[in-house]
């Protein structure tokens, strides 16, 4: 068995225009001061990283990682959540998602998609330059507006959507293979890959590509009423990244999974800071350890109530307390009698 690394922090929810959140130097110092050993980097935020340089210059990447290490943290992974979202966008979301892209491709879905594909490929190249083997992204979505089957979906609609999604991602997955980096899709509502079944539909269409993997985040499964512990065992060979995030689901006589169009604070299902929700992290960390997950436990702070800086500081201690330092020997080794084939056969009555 292997011991999970951590705690680490995803920086996307903390980057801002005010110190200490407005530069790579200051935010890494802040994260270390909170108790983190690693940081996951949103590759779209130019206040932290120059993705063009990272993709083309190992020297830049060495300096980038070196500054983080000097300040007390490791770079755990890069993220292209926003760019990955734009690899596949249903027209209903064109306006909403334009803001994720460079202004030069706004209002031009074809150019926006090409830009997004190149962005993800650059982030994979940057990961290679940094010596990082995992990368997190969203899949994007073509079928999401039809997630509920009313009106009745015409035959072949979902199949066509997943065929196209796979066709768009296959060249990116092949680039990931060339870089030696796994793409870990965050299984997430709003993406076509939002549960195990949809991940398998996609995996089949990309020919079980070795670089097609998962980021495990139990909070998204709590809000879908999905068995988040069973999921770890089912996909143990494909789970290569881990977001530690809490959630709660408290249905009432007025609302359930769909949330009644309410804001996060008023939804039956909502994200919470670590320890304030319903995820059984003792069981989660036990299963991850038993399944030999040796990646990073990365806190993704999202909470409808608590201040982010409080959530971040509490999250570091929370994860540290849950990481299991795995044993190097069995608890009953003291009673070992050694290997003896003849004795074994005698005990079984075979001689």
9 three-state secondary structure: strand
Output the pLDDT for position 335: 60
243 three-state secondary structure: strand
The more confidently predicted of residues 2 and 208 is 208
* CATH label of the domain that carries residue 179: 3.20.20.150
Output the pLDDT for position 347: 85
Tens of pLDDT, residue by residue over 10-29, are: 999 999 999 999 999 999 99
Q: Residue 270: beta bridge partners?
A: 248
Q: Which stretch of 51-65, 181-195, 201-215, 325-339 has the lowest confidence by average pLDDT?
A: 325-339
Q: Are strands 239-244 and 212-216 parallel, antiparallel or unpaired?
A: parallel
Q: Residue 241: beta bridge partners?
A: 215
* Domain count of the fold of the chain: 1
Does residue 86 register a pLDDT over 90?
yes
DSSP 64-96: HHHHHHHTT-EEEEEEEHHHHHTTSB-GGGHHH
User: How far is Cα 315 from Cα 306, in angstroms, rounded to an integer?
Assistant: 12
Half-sphere exposure of 245 (CA within 13 A, CB side): 26
Tens of pLDDT, residue by residue over 272-324, are: 999 999 999 999 999 999 999 999 999 999 999 999 999 999 999 999 999 99
Does residue 330 register a pLDDT over 90?
no
Name the pTM for this structure: 0.95
Q: Work out the average pLDDT over 102-115.
A: 98
User: What is the domain extent for residue 286?
Assistant: 5-347
pLDDT exceeding 90 applies to what percent of the chain? 92
């Amino acid at each position: 068995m292997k011991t999970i690394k951590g705690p680490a922090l995803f920086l996307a929810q903390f980057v801002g225009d005010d110190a200490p959140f407005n530069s790579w130097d200051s935010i890494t110092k802040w994260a270390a001061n909170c108790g983190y050993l690693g940081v996951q980097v949103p590759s779209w935020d130019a206040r932290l990283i120059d993705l063009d340089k990272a993709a083309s210059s190992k020297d830049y990447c060495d300096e980038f990682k070196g500054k983080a290490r000097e300040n007390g943290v490791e770079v755990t992974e890069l993220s292209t959540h926003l760019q990955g979202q734009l690899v596949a966008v249903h027209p209903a979301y064109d306006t909403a998602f334009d803001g994720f892209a460079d202004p030069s491709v706004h209002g031009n879905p074809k150019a926006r998609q090409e830009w997004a594909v190149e962005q993800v490929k650059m982030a994979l190249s940057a990961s290679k330059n940094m010596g990082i083997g995992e990368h997190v992204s969203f899949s994007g979505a073509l079928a999401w507006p039809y997630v509920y089957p009313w009106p009745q979906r015409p035959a072949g609609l979902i199949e066509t959507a997943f065929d196209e999604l796979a066709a768009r991602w296959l060249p990116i997955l092949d680039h990931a293979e060339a870089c030696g980096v796994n793409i870990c899709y965050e299984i997430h509502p709003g993406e076509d890959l939002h549960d195990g079944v949809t991940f398998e539909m996609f995996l089949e269409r990309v020919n079980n590509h070795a670089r097609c993997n998962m980021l495990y985040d139990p909070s998204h499964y709590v809000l879908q009423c999905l068995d988040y512990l069973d999921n770890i065992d089912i996909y143990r060979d494909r789970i290569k990244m881990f977001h530690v995030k809490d959630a709660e689901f408290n249905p009432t006589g007025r609302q359930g999974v769909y949330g009644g169009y309410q804001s996060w604070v008023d939804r039956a299902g909502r994200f919470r800071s670590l320890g304030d929700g319903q995820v059984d992290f003792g069981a989660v960390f036990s299963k991850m350890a038993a399944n030999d997950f040796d990646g990073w436990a990365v806190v993704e702070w999202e909470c409808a109530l608590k201040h982010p800086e409080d959530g971040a500081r509490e999250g570091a201690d929370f994860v540290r307390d849950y990481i299991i330092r795995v044993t190097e020997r069995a608890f009953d080794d003291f009673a070992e009698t050694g290997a003896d084939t003849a004795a074994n056969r005698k005990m079984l009555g075979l001689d």
